[in-house]
Amino acid sequence: MEKVGGEKDRKILLSEDIIAKVESFRNQRTAGKEDLFFELCFCIMAANTSAELGIRMQKTLGKEPFLHYDQMDLRNALKMARYRFYNTRSAYIYNSRWIIDELPSIVNQMDPWEAREYLVNGVYGIGYKEASHFLRNVGVFDFAILDKHILKSLRSSFEVEIPKTLTGKKYLEIERKFIELSRSYGMQPGVLDLILWKEETGTVLK
C-alpha cells in the first residue's frame, strides 16, 4: 500500500486487507439488533483503552453478559476478565440496553449525521469518537474516528494542529478537515481512517 501524504493528487492504493475489512463492515448493516448492540458495547469498552482490549473482552465473555446480565453480574464478569473500567462501563452498558430495539432503524433508516447525534446524546459512554466508531463498524463511513493514532497521523503527515484536550466542538472542527482530506483523495472518511490507522499501527482491526 502506498503511504498517504505529500501531494494532494497522489493516489492511494487500498490493500486487500482494508478492502476486506470495509466489506465486512458493510455486511454488518444487516445484522440483527443484538449483534448491533454487541458492537456498540465494543465501542464503549474500547474508549480510552484500545481496540485490542475491546476485542478481547468480546471474545472472552461473548454476547450473553452484555445483553442479559444484571449490572452487578456484568461488573463482576468484566472484573474477572481484567477489564480496567469494570465499574463505569458495566453501568454504561446496562443503562443503554433501551436502545437495542432501535439500532436497526438507526443504522439503516436514519440520516447518518442525525444517527450520530442521537447516539451521542442518548447512550451512556458514547461521545463523537465512539459513535463514529460504531457507525463505521456497521457500514456507515461518513465520519472520522479521531483516536490517538489518527490524531498523530494528522499532526505529523498533514500538519493539522491538534489541541491537548479534544472537546466535542474541537472534535467536529478537526473532523471537518479530515472529511475535506478524504474527499481530496476521492474516498469516504471511514475508509481513509482505516488506512491511516494501519499506517500508524501496522494492523487492521475495527
Residue with cell 494532494: 8
Q: Which residues contact 61 (CB under 8 A, 6 or more apart)?
A: 77, 78, 81
By CB neighbour count within 10 A (0-12 exposed, 13-18 middle, 19+ buried), where does 201 fall?
Answer: middle
Which listed residue (9, 111, 129, 152) is catalytic? 129
Active-site residue identified among 17, 33, 79, 147: 147
For this structure, is 129 an active site residue? yes
Active site residue 35: no
Residue 132 CB partners (closer than 8 Å, separation 6+): 116, 143, 144, 145, 146, 175, 190
Q: Which residue has the cell 469498552?
A: 45
Grid cell at residue 175: 473532523
Name the residue among 89, 25, 29, 88 with its Cα closest to residue 57: 89
Q: What residues are labeled active site?
A: 129, 147
